[in-house]
Structure 1
Amino acid sequence: MRINRNDSTNGAENKAPQVQPAASIPQSDPEPAHKDKKEKVHKKKHAADTRKKREQEEPGEEEHAGRRFPFGCLVVLIILALVAFGGYKVMQFYGEIDGKTSLGEEQTVTIEQGSSVGAIATQLKDAGIIEYDWLFKEYAKYSGKAEGIQYGEFTLRSGMDYNSIIQTISQQVRRPTANVTIPEGTTAVGVAQIFVDAGLVDSVDTFLNCANGTDGSDFSQYSFWTQIPDNGRLMKCEGYLFPETYNVYADEDVYYYVDTLYSEFDKKTAGLTDTINAKGTTIDDVVKLASFIQEEAGVESEDAKVSACFHNRLESSDPLWAEHKLESNACSYITQDVENNYLWNSPTAEYYGWPEQGAIPEDVLSLYDTYQISGLPAGPISCPGYAAIEAALNPDQQYLDEGYYFFVTGHPDTDVAGQYFYAKTAEEHQANVEKAGWAG
């Protein structure tokens, strides 16, 4: 008797299946049961193979998720970081503009006349008053407050809000100033006297002691200063107090005034360095010769020609000039008041008491008398202007090549006053002296 599968399924809840003794089961029925079992095993194997093949061909959910999740997170984190950083910087900028609750110590900031808003912003940043110079510049510009900014000295503190800073530097607190004009060819003593007369320095000695460094003043920040040889010259500062018109503060110390002049000399001659090196000379020798050109020419149109005459005297192979003497009346032992002579009747001679003491000291003549010594004197004899300095470096090539050695200017009381006469020989020069009205 066969097992009724439907009965066993439907009646499972109410009745347990009845099992017949093994002896009563027919022998001819085992094949269907064996076949059914084999089919089940085959189906399970097929399902397992299909699942395995699918896993190999297609990534599982876990594998998909493992690739997608970190990349998406990274993008989100980057965006959040940028937003957070941007917000942080914006808060910093607002905090900078609004100022801090705790301010730094007071400090004095000097704004020079003519300074741009950008330059002022950089100056405030360098002083530690503000952190962002570009932000201050834009704020001052677009707030419409830049036009009110003044020059002068102002007391500021780090951490101040921008409106307070602008309000402070917009107040009329300008320092008193004075205009000082130094003519080209002025001696160092004459320059010192100009500052004394302007009420800026108490005495000529105070100015010269500072300018010469004898009071301990140091100007080694300028390369020219360190190149001036200690060769017994009268004054280290002679020749380097650049002639110009200056607008200076009227309540400063002497170092400020001297440094202003040295700074101008340094700026004006900075572009000549390559030419000086190429010609194998020094800035000191150039200034020395320029001081003679300034005294002997005095007119820019004649500077290069006079320079050529001096160069020929100092460098020519002509036997008549074998001693290479400069032979300039601007610095020699002469006693003619009509001549502007550094050792005889200049402010320098008066400062040292020559010739009231009876004579110019021999040790001075041995360093400065251009009729006695070969080559250039120990130091310059005045403070030359830029045109004379350039002419000393670049003499007129034609006059140099053609061998001009002499020059003379027309006497002030003649109809050739101010005219220049050049000559190659002593005979030609003597004829020019008569023509210029100096023979009488």
Structure 2
Amino acid sequence: MWRHIASNALTFLVVLVFLFGGALIWAQNEYVSEGPLDQPICVQVDRGSNFRRVSEQLAEDGAVSSAALLRIGADYAGKTSELKAGSFLVPEGASMSEIVDIVTRGGASTCGTEVVYRVSIARATVQVRELDPATGRFVEIAEFNPAEDAVPAAYTEVKAEPDTRYRVALAEGVTSWQIVQELGQIDILEGEVADIPAEGSLAPDSYEITPGETRADLIARMQSAQDRILAEAWANRQDDLPYESPEEALIMASIIEKETGTPDERFLVSSVFVNRLRQGMRLQTDPTVIYGITRGEGVLGRGIRQSELRAETPWNTYVIPGLPPTPIANPGRAAIEAALNPDTTPYIFFVAKTLDPSDGHNFAVTLEEHNQNVAAYRALEAQRDN
């Protein structure tokens, strides 16, 4: 009898072991398999929250099939204590394992609300926008000019939210003076900038910032970024260029940046200026004349006068030979690369095709051909003015 009981008990134990093993294998597969989400969602993790609250919210949102299994998996992976506050984008079909990694890896929030401080050549704006998880695109909530407009309630509200992200976006071709002026308008930054940074030394890009960060530290990040870009482009430059230093290449890049807003033309424009330098011709470029007038402090806002074209300033390339002494703006990576790797062309001249700068330029080899292109452009100007 006892032998029979022992045999049954052993059989029962074996069955239990197999059931447990099967359940464990199922749980492991469930944890790493594709999840039930049919479209991306934004998951907000509040400061002081815990995995229980987050897992229950994910289950309620249909992101996971079992809140308990998510917690068990996170605990087994040793990530329960690594939960990070923020707003995180959970993609369609994300597994429990992937979701745990998303909410514990840290770093900037990947969805939710962000504020973008845009510094462009003509004006500065503050944009409040929110990511739509379904489309992966940002939806604008509010936009204003901090120097001219009243601060909208939407901006004040998102500043009070702990997971709001902030970025400063610099357009290519802005001047160092403009950047310092606009950074002074950003109310989440602190401190002053003692001196205007050297023209051309700040890399146009998008910079993540945090409330309380100093303006000086942000400027230093922009300078380090430009140093890296210039060093890399200089190391990969063409042979036999008419520059004696990376600084001269940066000057040329700033002129290219201001001469064309058409990305495909940068290397062509670069070829024109390189050809002129090689032939000992003056660069004769209007943006340098304008910089000699404004010193980069704002936009000229009118046409260049004939007297200004003849005026001898250090930057007037109608008067001085070669390159001006400094850059005339902060060029982006593409303009720097164009300055150091120009197209090989015979072009010496160029003029705008139409009154719309985005339409690009007509390039010419001979003065006769260039004069024809100029005449066509002047005709368009006359048409507009009549």
Q: Which residue of structure 1 lines up, in the alignment, with residue 288 of structure 2? A: 331
Alignment of 1:156-305 (within 5 A): 178-200=166-188, 206-207=192-193, 209-212=194-197, 237-276=198-237, 279=240, 281-305=244-268
Alignment of 1:22-421 (within 5 A): 142-145=77-80, 147-149=82-84, 178-200=166-188, 206-207=192-193, 209-212=194-197, 237-276=198-237, 279=240, 281-316=244-279, 322=280, 324-332=281-289, 341-344=290-293, 347-348=296-297, 365-397=312-344, 399=345, 403-412=346-355, 418-421=359-362
User: 2:174 is paired with a residue of what secondary structure?
Assistant: coil
Contact 1:184 1:243 in 2 (8 A): yes
Displacement after TM superposition at 1:345 (Å):
5.5
Displacement after TM superposition at 1:177 (Å):
5.2
Change in Cα spacing, 1:294 to 1:146, as seen in structure 2 (3 Å) is farther
Structure 1, unaligned runs of 5 or more = 1-138, 152-166, 213-236, 317-321, 333-340
Contact 2:260 2:360 in 1 (8 A): no
Contact 2:183 2:215 in 1 (8 A): no
Displacement after TM superposition at 1:420 (Å):
1.6
Change in Cα spacing, 1:148 to 1:349, as seen in structure 2 (3 Å) is closer
Displacement after TM superposition at 1:380 (Å):
0.4
Give, in whole Å, the separation in 1 of the partners of 2:222 and 2:76.
34
Give, in whole Å, the separation in 2 of the partners of 1:144 and 1:175.
21
Change in Cα spacing, 1:141 to 1:377, as seen in structure 2 (3 Å) is farther
Give, in whole Å, the separation in 2 of the partners of 1:290 and 1:303.
9
- The residue type paired with residue 304 of structure 1 is F
Displacement after TM superposition at 1:347 (Å):
4.8
Q: Which residue of structure 2 lines up, in the alignment, with residue 62 of structure 1? A: none
- The residue type paired with residue 376 of structure 2 is K
Change in Cα spacing, 1:146 to 1:307, as seen in structure 2 (3 Å) is farther
Change in Cα spacing, 1:301 to 1:143, as seen in structure 2 (3 Å) is same
Larger Rg: 1
Displacement after TM superposition at 1:370 (Å):
0.7
Displacement after TM superposition at 1:150 (Å):
5.1
Contact 1:190 1:347 in 2 (8 A): yes
Change in Cα spacing, 1:427 to 1:194, as seen in structure 2 (3 Å) is same
Instruction: String of CA shifts for 1:258-295, please: whole Å, max 9, x gaps.
Output: 01211222333342242359656321111100111111
- Structure having the higher strand fraction is 2
Displacement after TM superposition at 1:140 (Å):
9.3
Structure 2, unaligned runs of 5 or more = 1-73, 87-103, 110-160
Displacement after TM superposition at 1:349 (Å):
5.9
Instruction: String of CA shifts for 1:76-118, please: whole Å, max 9, x gaps.
Output: xxxxxxxxxxxxxxxxxxxxxxxxxxxxxxxxxxxxxxxxxxx
Contact 2:350 2:363 in 1 (8 A): yes
* Pairs aligned (count): 231
Change in Cα spacing, 1:141 to 1:375, as seen in structure 2 (3 Å) is farther
Give, in whole Å, the separation in 2 of the partners of 1:140 and 1:284.
55
Change in Cα spacing, 1:270 to 1:264, as seen in structure 2 (3 Å) is same
Instruction: String of CA shifts for 1:19-58, please: whole Å, max 9, x gaps.
Output: xxxxxxxxxxxxxxxxxxxxxxxxxxxxxxxxxxxxxxxx
Give, in whole Å, the separation in 2 of the partners of 1:431 and 1:174.
60
User: 1:143 is paired with a residue of what secondary structure?
Assistant: coil
- Structure having the higher helix fraction is 1
- The residue type paired with residue 261 of structure 2 is G
Change in Cα spacing, 1:200 to 1:411, as seen in structure 2 (3 Å) is farther
TM norm structure 2: 0.51
Displacement after TM superposition at 1:200 (Å):
5.0
Q: Which residue of structure 2 lines up, in the alignment, with residue 39 of structure 1? A: none
Give, in whole Å, the separation in 2 of the partners of 1:293 and 1:428.
22
- The residue type paired with residue 266 of structure 1 is D
Give, in whole Å, the separation in 1 of the partners of 2:324 and 2:219.
24
- Bigger mean CA deviation after superposition, 273-282 or 429-438: 273-282
Write out the 4+ residue segments of structure 1 that deviate beyond 6 Å after TM superposition.
172-176
User: 2:317 is paired with a residue of what secondary structure?
Assistant: coil
Contact 2:277 2:322 in 1 (8 A): yes
**Aligned-CA RMSD value:** 3.8
Displacement after TM superposition at 1:391 (Å):
0.5
Give, in whole Å, the separation in 2 of the partners of 1:294 and 1:346.
16
Displacement after TM superposition at 1:426 (Å):
1.8
Instruction: String of CA shifts for 1:174-212, please: whole Å, max 9, x gaps.
Output: 697521111011111111122123225689xx43x3453
Give, in whole Å, the separation in 1 of the partners of 2:371 and 2:248.
30
Alignment of 1:426-437 (within 5 A): 426-437=367-378
User: 2:355 is paired with a residue of what secondary structure?
Assistant: coil
Contact 2:251 2:324 in 1 (8 A): yes
Displacement after TM superposition at 1:145 (Å):
2.8
Contact 2:254 2:329 in 1 (8 A): yes
